[in-house]
Structure 1
Amino acid sequence: MVAGSLEDGRRLFAGPVEFLLAAPRLDILPPPTLPEVAVAGRSNVGKSSLLNALTGRHGLARTSVTPGRTQELIVFDVGAPPVMRLIDMPGYGFAEAPKDIVRQWQYLIGDYLRGRVVLKRVLLLIDCRHGFKAVDQEIMTLLDKAAVSYQIVLTKADKVKPTALAAMLERMADEARKQPAAFPGLIATSSEKGTGIAELRLAVWEAAFLGS
C-alpha cells in the first residue's frame, strides 16, 4: 500500500471542517456516501481537546469540566465539498447521566460500529498516564468482534516524562498486538503542545482514502 505524507494530512484539515448534525439514532446519520473516521475514548480522556487540535479549530468540539456530556454521534464534514466525515462518539466509562441513558449510548455505539459500512477506522484514545483500563479493554473487544479497524492514540503525552512515555508506548504496543482488529502503530499526542498532531492527521487521511 502506498503511504501518504504529512502534507496530505495537513491539506485534509486546511480547508473547512463543519458541524453537520448530532445523531441519537443511526437513521438520523447522513447517507453512507463518504468515508468516516470515528473518535472514541473514556469521557475524561481529552477527546474534545484532541479533536480541536486535529482540525485546528479551537471551538469545534466543546470541552467541558463535566465528562460524558456528549450523548450522540456528532458528525463533522471535512472539506468543501466534503471528502470525508469525522464522527465524535459518546464518551464511555463515566457519565453524568442516568443508567438507562448510558445504556442507550452503549447500544448506539454498538449499532454504529457493527452497521456503518463507510466506517474506515476508529481512533481509540487512551490517557498515557494510565494506559488501558478495563473499560478500554471492553471497547477493544467490541471493536474486535465487529471487525472494525482501530488505532490506539495516546493523549496528554506532555503530562509524563519521556522515559515513562516510551515505556508506556512499548507496553501498550505489546498488548495491542494481541488484538485482532488493532491497526499497527500507536500515536502519542498532546493537544496542548501539538505533539503527534501532524502524524494523527496523516493517519486519518490514510484511513479515509487508502483503507485499512
Structure 2
Amino acid sequence: MTGLADTRDEAERAALIEAGRLLFARPCAFFHAAQKTDQLPPPGLPEIAFCGRSNVGKSSLINALTGQKALARVSQTPGRTRQLNFFDLAGRLVLVDLPGYGYAKASKDMQRDWQGVMFDYLRGRPNLMRVMLLLDARIETKSADRAAMALLDAAAVAFQIVLTKADDVGPQKLAARFAEAEALARGHTAAHPLVLVTSSATGLGIPELRAEIAGFAQPG
C-alpha cells in the first residue's frame, strides 16, 4: 500500500524514491501566508497543496516530508489554521498548507471566510499541479471530504488521496480503509488512481510521497 504504480520496475521505483529523497533533503522554508485571495503570492514555481479536514495531520505530514519538526505549525486545536501557508522547497517547488475544513465548532461566518479563500485558490491557481487530499486512516470518510472531492472534480483540479495516521490502525482495518479510498479515487474524474498510505510518526509511506511530489519540481 505505497501508491507507486505496480507497472514500474524496481530500478524506476528506486530512482523515483532517490529523487524524492534528494529534493526533500534540501532547504525548505516558510515564505508567505494569505488569509484573503488578494493576498496570494504571484504564481511562480509549481505548487503542491495539502488539503483535508481539521486535525487530519497536514502540518505533521509536511514536517515529516521535509525532515523538520516545526516547519509547519502543529496545533492541538482543530480549525486553528485559517490561512494558506506557503513553503519554498529549494527554489524548485512550493508546498501549500491549506486551512482545514469540516471543523464543526467553527461559526458559519468563520467557515465561509477561510474555506472561501481556500476554494478560490483551488479554482484559480494556474501553477497548482496537484492537491494531496488527506484522509484520516482511523475514521470513515466524512461528508466534508466528499464535498471537497466534488469541488475538486468541478474545478478540474487533479488530486491524490493520502491516508494519514496509519500507525494507529490495525492491519485489517487499514486494508479496508485503503480499499475504500481506492474506490473513492475511481469514482472521481479529477482523482489520481494511486492511493498513498502514510504515518508521520513512523515514516511509513514518506519516501513514496516524496517521490510522487518530486516529479513536479523544476530541474535543480
Relative to the length of structure 1, the TM-score reads 0.92
The answer to whether residue 51 in structure 2 is matched with residue 53 in structure 1 is no
Question: What pairs with 1:1-212 in structure 2 (closer than 5 Å)?
Answer: 5-79=16-90, 82-94=91-103, 97-208=106-217
- State the alpha-carbon separation in 2 of the partners of residues 115 and 12 from structure 1: 27
**AA matched with 1:13:** F
The structure-2 alpha-carbon separation of the partners of 1:97 and 1:110, relative to structure 1 and needing over 3 Å to count, comes to: same
The amino acid across from 2:212 in the alignment is A
CA distance in 2, matches of 1:71, 1:54: 22
Q: Give the C-alpha shift of residue 77 in structure 1.
A: 0.5
Per-residue deviation, 1:44: 1.3
Percent same amino acid at aligned positions?
A: 53
Q: For the residues of structure 2 that align with 1:39 and 1:208, how far apart are their CA atoms? A: 16
Q: 1:95·1:102 contact (CA, 8 Å) conserved in 2?
A: no
**Deviation of the 1:28 alpha carbon:** 2.1
How far residue 139 of structure 1 moved from its aligned partner, in angstroms, is 0.2
Deviations 1:172-209 (A, max 9, x none): 20121010000111111011000000011111112445
Unaligned runs of 5+ in 1: none
**CA distance in structure 2 between the partners assigned to 1:23 and 1:96 by the alignment:** 23
Runs of 5+ unmatched residues, structure 2: 1-11
CA distance in 2, matches of 1:83, 1:65: 31
SS at match of 1:61: coil
* Letter paired with 2:155: A
Q: Distance in 1 between matches of 2:146 and 2:217?
A: 25
CA-atom RMSD, angstroms? 1.9
Superposition misfits of 4+ residues, deviation over 4 angstroms:
none
Q: Please, what TM-score do these two structures have when normalized by structure 2?
A: 0.89
| Mapped contact 2:161–2:195 kept (Cα < 8 A) | yes
More off after superposition, 139-148 vs 154-163 = 154-163
C-alpha spacing 1:166/1:202, structure 2 compared with 1 (3 Å): same
Give the partner amino acid of 1:6: I
